[in-house]
Structure 1
Amino acid sequence: MDKNADETRMKCAEVFRVANLSEFCTCKDLKCPYHPTNHDKGCSLCIEKNLRQGEVPSCFFNKVGGTEGKTSFTFKDFAKAVLSE
Structure 2
Amino acid sequence: MEKMLIKIDGSTGVVIPDELLEEMQLKPGAKVTLVRQRDGFFVKPSNEKPKYKLKDLMANTDFELQRNDPELQEWSGKSIVGREQS
Length-normalised TM-score, structure 1:
0.24
Higher normalized strand content (fraction of residues): 2
Structure possessing the higher radius of gyration over alpha carbons: 2
Length-normalised TM-score, structure 2:
0.24
